[in-house]
Structure 1
Amino acid sequence: MLLPDERTERDEYSDAGVLSVRQVVLRISLIIMLVEAAIMVMLAVAPFKVHALTETVVDAVLLGLISIPWIYLWVVRPFITAHDHLLRQVTHLAYHDPLTRLPNRRLLADYLERALAGYRRTPAYGALLLVDLDGFKKINDTLGHEFGDIVLIVTAQRLQSMTRREDLVSRLGGDEFVVLLHRLSVEPAHARAKAEEAARKLLKLACEPIETRGQAVVIGVSIGVRMLGPESIGSESAIRDADEAMYRVKATGGGDVAVHEGDYSAGTSPIGKSA
């Protein structure tokens, strides 16, 4: 796979357009100067003369009435817009991985907890797939971290391309990703079959060559699957079970799928490899 322009974007947000102190002072000064000049001209050409004190009061009132809307439009509103933009940026960075732009572990845990609570209210079955890249450290060591970053980005894009809108793809950290398949079926056997089918498709897609700058690598993956159902379990326990299944695959050479076996209506039992 050749990456367009062979570039990776690290930052989702550009300059938020925050006004500097100098810009604020200059804009307010310019507004006041222009408005005051207009008022002075208006008073000078007025067909009647007023007392100096009255003229001063009128000048001050008009200056305030005319300047305030312009100061709001040219100074205050840009500040509010920039503030809101930066707040969205900070919130986004708190819940997303800056490299792949995927939800991070924090957002995954929140989404997973809500999904598990939903399964307990309305019995249904989903699946958590923990995807780990085989030999990623070797790629970093031999081809460099920049190429390693490209591998992570491409893998993230491939995982996203294979999921539905209601599913979630997350970067857990390092070379580990999580794919949360939401509400596969109300029947556990059917849900498991669909989860294994999805895992096999992800396995095949992830193993396609990644090419850039005249270099190509084939990266293998190991996938651990933890079925999710009405049983009482937390997000960290579900991730840990999927992690254990994934390491069982690693122990046998990698490049395969393993499912954490158990009764997902009440507790789990030891791990077993999928057929």
Structure 2
Amino acid sequence: MINMTWEMFLQHLANGISLGSLYALIAIGYTMVYGILRLINFAHGDIFMMATYFAFFGVFFGLPWYIAFPITIILTILLGMGVEIAAYRSLRDAPKISIMISAIGASFLIENLAIVIFGGRPKAFPTEELFTKVVYIGNISVQRLTFIIPIVTIILLVMLLYLINKTKTGMAMRAVSKDHETAKLMGVNIDRTISTTFGIGSALAAIGGIMWGLKFPQIQPLMGVMPGLKCFIAAVIGGIGNITGAVIGGFFLGVSEIMLVAIFQGLTGYRDAFAFIILILVLLFKPTGIMGEKISEKV
């Protein structure tokens, strides 16, 4: 354990909030899919990984970032909706275990296709000075991106909550999350609503992937595994199925992770294990998470 000055504390807090914001963006995708289908989309972390490659090759082939990044988001949305159609739609009425196996299979397929297509060697993600320039506040030095990421996360959260609570699309999502059959009888297009949900979650994963690449500028085909697991943990901490809870869980996990390493430097090697310890404690003492509600499974 080390003595920490206020400047060091603020430095680590800024880094923790930035990392937590990234976790939050990706965790929203998990919690949205679970809220509607009651399944964990294990391929979500790999969709996040593919987004970093889309952005990488967009810039690599000469596109400016303000064109490459929107194209990345569009391609990632199409990928996410394609995974839903190929891996989940035909199994919608199948036992949950079948859907879970399909989700795991989709994850492995995307990872191995990425290795074959992009190669296993890490690639340097292109950096943009607009985002990566270091800003000095007294003795504290942070990248502009450290400020940008939480702001983008909060804006997207507000937009998403407005979509869910104030629009017809959001009403359809809430109806489907309560009861598929009743929603269908009320005229809700189930397939379109679920595809839209996957598309929105994938868009958030794409934005998270782009900012992850800018913050940690090295990408490789298995990079989505650990962040994907941690974002799933963040969703569980906040209350799986609750969008605001996923954001709170992401911030909590990111800040806790950074502070653990900052205060107990000897535990740096256990940084990833810390997230799983939190998961176990949450499942033991508050399995519904911070903002989750108890949900009874249909038999």
Normalized per residue, the structure richer in helix is: 2
TM-score w.r.t. the length of structure 1 is 0.30
What is the TM-score with the length of structure 2 in the denominator? 0.28
